[in-house]
Structure 1
């Protein structure tokens, strides 16, 4: 019998097998497959036939095994690509979380100085109103103290705006920027953080060159280095922030090319050789427990390396320390940093309009309503989204001004409900929160947003801008 297996015997009968030469493929001690030569007449297989079949079987085995290996490699490659992408996402999220943690730690340093300034602001505003209330029938006096109170309130708005802008969560994005711009925008922030005992000197490159970096990371570099310098000068001293351009060739860390040096130096106590050697180690700190994480310089070094640069430290005990951050120059043109609302020129004048004003703060709603009415507009006011939707059923507005953060129905949801009824109604969002990205995520990238607090003129400018886009 050719085989004990029924299926094999049936196959042999179908192909009329009279003689068969079989070469098995065995892998890991188990039969994997066979190659056979079939003859329809009885015969004896000679050595040449056997050698030919063995060669054919070996070549076939190699092809099959190579295909199996290639298949495994393709699966492994796909798995590795997925794991690398997943790991990259995890690392980026961890880096962004670490940056935000560092920012929050620095915010604690900012609050103490800002609290003092903000108390001065409140004292000025309260004092101005008290003086107005004492003699409200004296127009010149009312005018003078009203202006002083307004100026003090603007200063308070600037204080909170700086703190909120600094503390907001952002994704890390490398873009062309001027380090000088970042330093100039942080000037008041640094003055309040470092206190009156620290004199700040700036030596900025008069011909700045753009670098490829993340603006928030550069802010954190400057602030962390400034705080470290302040702590190294407990009795006061001079902090110097400078920028300059350097060319590196054959450097151990840096690719050949031009770099901007951001240097922060102090006249403090300096570091000994052991401290200097370990300064950029993660979690290494000379500060008391609870006053530092030891991640500041490590984070600065990591950010600089991510941008293609590096960090170098010079320090002499009893003389001071200089930390130099090198960031690669770029040929791309930077967008100049701007923190304020700039009304567009050439926008048409506003006619008297019906304005839907929705805000859950009674006092703010009242003040804005009166201000818009003084400009000749008819204001429809609502304290929440449901009330606003009821009002537009009875009267159709021409512009809507919506607070974003409201209980029950926020501004984005309300805007969607309004758009379903009045699809062409221009909408302005106002918000006291720094994270405008969340508003744009909810309301779209083209949303017009005003940060609270704002002057009435800025609201009027925003209304002019959105009204100029309306097709009439």
Structure 2
């Protein structure tokens, strides 16, 4: 079961985890592509704006370099006027500077660089490039004039020679407006980076702290300046969908796990129910097979025991004056009776005993047994009988029910060697008692004790034939088996409830009778002497020669003329031949045709001819008319003559 549940969990949860992982990978890839495309687009657009602005600035500085004010010798006063006008119309220009090609500043207008007029050019590298290339250049963001600034330089070329270099110092913050061409998403940051890696301007969120995942950066170069636009996107943009996917996966897994737990509990319940049903079916098949085996063995032993008991009865009549021989015969008959009782229990277990069910008053029957049960108990055991007078009758063989109750009482006594209490009750059966039985009303007779009880393993084998916890000399292991078979054959069941140290309760569940109870007289023992019959001619039919011979001897001993035949066909020939018979005694199971066939044919030929059926099979009675008198094997001589007397009345 554990392996099946593990396989179920793996097969159920593994696809979910796999699909969740695939979903996460696809989501991460799509999110990364979307972020990269957006950042690339924004960076390119910003780079185009920066390049356009720088190109315009370089053109403007180049136009200043073409100014006539710079022809010939430098007219500083005139240049200051021109520069003042230009700066007034260019609010982002901090100052305009004139320097020599060698890097010495001549004029700074309106603000001096470095806080004073004259002196070497700050950030000379861009000046050298302008002189070397003869073209406008853009410096790095290394200047400070009322804040961070950078220089745009253009050479002043006259007559093929560079006479001066004009520089426009631009505030770096001016470029930040270009990076804010449209609102950036939350967490995004745009920066303009010069050739030296300095940050010229920025827009958007502040720089990310050192801790945490590094942002994702997209770079686009500004061709004319060597600068670059960098777009930084937070790593959380990628991790957030992953977190969402993982959260969704976890929730889905938890939901599936919860569903799995529910399904597992249902599956475990179903598997346990199936196992219990399978075990019950196997037990039923085993008990059925065992019942057929014991029933067949008991039937064969009945055939063996019948001539033994018949012979002993005949021998007893002949040694009546020899006390010693009579003692031997009585001992043998007692052993035969014990064997008969044992075979009866085997037949009861296999549900093949002969029953005579009738409506029985449970209260009267149990009260009638109270003295017998009390005498069977030791003084240290208390007997408590509680039955209700208004209980409806049950349909059962009263003699077999008495035997079953006495057996249960003796079992209870044996379970309490140190003393205790036995309680016998009769009451309507509960729902748990009639589970598995046909619909209808049932009553329950319960014999409970305060004895040692049985553990679960013992309880499972309690009704198995020959299983017993008693010593070999104290029990055969057929008591509960007999009660179980009797209850099942009567249309009910035997229910056992027990636990170690808590005693045992054995309940016989029996169907209620629709008819009123018949008043019964206490059953006396079998008469010592058989009834005297007038001489008669008997047709005896049995395929077993030993049984047939012993039965014929008993009949002959009582002045009956016997005609023996071994089959139904021989019996039919004798009946059809015109011979007169006072009665027919026939076995049931014989080769070819059965005793039922003989009874039907005999009644067709001689409707008034008495017929006595001798059989060891209870199933035989289902095939016979209800008025057929029968006797079970093995039988004593007086039992045979009693039955013959009844059929000849």
TM-score, normalised relative to structure 1: 0.46
User: How does the TM-score come out when normalised to structure 2?
Assistant: 0.35
